[in-house]
Amino acid sequence: MTTSDTAMAQLSTGERALALIGGEATDANLRRYLHGIPGVDAVGLEQRAADLGTRSVKTSSKKWAIDKIISLIDLTTLEGADTPGKVRSLVGKALTPDAGDLSCPRVAAVCVYGDMVPHAVAALGSAHSAGTDAGVNVAAVATAFPSGRASLAVKLADVHDAVAAGADEIDMVIDRGAFLSGRFGQVYDEIVAVKQSCRRPDGGSAHLKVILETGELNTYDNVRRASWLAILAGGDFIKTSTGKVPVAATLPVTLSMLEVVRDWYRLTGARVGVKPAGGIRTSKDATKYIVTVAETVGEEWLTPGLFRFGASSLLNDVLMQRQKMTSGHYCGPDYVTMD
């Protein structure tokens, strides 16, 4: 790091943001900063993502890769028909993904609606990691997920209730309408306010994942700007999607976000996580993301604290691949629980 980079690393998140944008987080200052970021070479980005997607994992490393993928999954149920019983079943699978092989690692977290948090916490019992990587975390979607269309007071109450119920992580959605209209200050202020609402009375804080809903941002330039904005405002993770719109996570979009995280780390020394969510359904797909992370930000990002997969069906495919490696023959879906 240069002397200026070292000085930047010693600042708080808020101080870094003010230093970088050259003043208060107003629409004008944020617009000047975000539009000053170099544009994305779309052709180059897509070509690099395609190249990374063709790289294979050595046979000797496939078992490691499969177990790594499992350990990075946020096992998710976000349906209007969710019940306490379904959440308890989800937690059971999170704790013991393969009942026939107890060496199989646990997932990183379960992700549920806020009103389901108490049921997830109760079902986890002593396996609830409470914000560490020792067990399984509970993540809750909030801020009027998935649309983000509600007053700030409603959004903050949503967050407060989830954190009070025991959520270790909050997955918030940005106001895409505000962002696309150029109201960057509003988006920034909402993220800052949500971050503050993640604090607990004991002084701890739930980690904040900021969902950009990249499928609605239209361009790679917008994805890059939204990523920078979320990080400037204090997001611990940037997340691609809610999984509720037709276009969810893609490898080029995730690569673009990883490049922002890499540049932020080089600039400030602070690490921010990335979570692609939606549309990643197979072990083959997930492996492409693992390779892309390792090649872009380094293998140190391949921990639950810095990278996650948001998925509901991915785990079953990965388990079938794992069983094939163990038994020597392919096991069908009858050999895994269906959620």
| Structural domains of the chain, with CATH | 3-327 (3.20.20.70)
Distance (Å) of CA 318 to CA 100, 135, 226, 255: 15, 20, 31, 22
CA dihedral 17, 21, 23, 29 (to 10 degrees): -130
Q: What is the DSSP letter of 127?
A: G
Q: Give the residue from 257, 286, 249, 250 showing the smallest Cα distance to 273.
A: 257
The whole-number pLDDT of residue 88 equals 98
pLDDT in tens, 174-233: 999 999 999 999 999 999 999 999 999 999 999 999 999 999 999 999 999 999 999 999
154's enclosing H/E stretch is helix 152-164
**What mean pLDDT is predicted for residues 140-159?**
97
Q: In which region does residue 303 sit, left (phi positive, over 0), alpha (psi from -120 to 50) or beta (all else)?
A: beta
CB contact at 8 A, 103 and 132: no
pLDDT in tens, 273-321: 999 999 999 999 999 999 999 999 999 999 999 999 999 899 999 999 9
Task: Supply 34's token pair.
Answer: 């975000």
Which comes out higher in pLDDT, residue 326 or 315? Answer: 315
* Active-site residue set: 171, 239, 275
The whole-number pLDDT of residue 104 equals 95
CB contact at 8 A, 30 and 21: yes
In sequence order, what are the residues at sequence separation of 6 or more whose Cβ sits closer than 8 angstroms to the Cβ of residue 201? none
The whole-number pLDDT of residue 14 equals 78
From CA 320, how far away is CA 339, in angstroms rounded? Answer: 15
